[in-house]
Amino acid sequence: MKFAVPVFPGSNCDYDMVNALRDILNVPADLVSAQATNLEGYDAVVLPGGFSYGDYLRSGAIARFSPVMAAVKDFAATGKPVLGICNGFQILTEAGLLPGTLQANRSAQFICQASELIIRNSRTMFTTAYENQTQISLPIAHGEGNYYCDAQTLAELRANHQIVFEYVDNPNGSIANIAGITNRQGNVLGMMPHPERAVETILGSTAGLGIFQSLLSHQREGAHA
């Protein structure tokens, strides 16, 4: 299984992601330019965290116009996995690949801390390695992580089991404690917490590994289907 990690001007978690994939999980991963126009040969795309285009206008609002995002849209339409972490989640909402938006934190402060999460859907291709309703700890680091959507969208997210992670303590004011959601089809996941920063004991948590292990098993099962 080969991963593409698009890099935007201002991305800063791209090398952490590639380190998690290549060095910890032993899977091939390439950094891909924001100017790239095709993602042929890749089995999954991970949009990394950071401050793409300096977070000008709104986080992710400029990155969504990058050539690579047109390729990510086509890639997502094929049903292959697309994961957006933090700024990656912001880019996915701006690009219309996920519903809702990420607003400034309720405190108007940048928050960098460990956060406790509840797994609300362990049946997605990203979360089968976790037990449903269990609690995990992943780091967060963002100024605009306050997820918002209208009441009808929230009802749809709930009805279709698209809410995957919820905060226990809701550090940023997100509606319904939402920390991560999928699209309706279940192959695009956006999440504010950083699984790539929780892949080695020395980092304080290995709870992030489950996301990547879930994707690897999904790929293996697909190969045998």
State the catalytic residues. Answer: 86, 194, 196
The residues in 24-53 that bind ligand GLN, with binding defined as CB under 6 A, are 49-51
Question: What x/- string results for residues 117 through 146 when contact with ligand GLN is judged by CB under 6 A?
Answer: ------------------------xxxxx-
Residue 36 CA to residue 75 CA, distance in Å, equals 13
We find the least distance from the C-beta atom of residue 160 to ligand GLN, in angstroms, to be 26
Q: Is 152 exposed, middle or buried (0-12, 13-18, 19+ CB in 10 A)?
A: exposed
Question: What x/- string results for residues 155 through 194 when contact with ligand GLN is judged by CB under 6 A?
Answer: ----------------------------------------
The residue among 177, 198, 84 whose CA lies nearest residue 130 is 198
- Measured from the CB atom, is 48 or 186 closer to ligand GLN? 48
Q: What is the DSSP letter of 19?
A: I
We find the least distance from the C-beta atom of residue 11 to ligand GLN, in angstroms, to be 8
Residue 55 engages ligand GLN in binding (rule: CB under 6 A): yes
The residue among 9, 83, 8 whose CA lies nearest residue 42 is 83
- Measured from the CB atom, is 47 or 129 closer to ligand GLN? 47
Sequence-distant (6+) residues with CB within 8 A of 97 are 72, 73, 76, 82, 183, 188
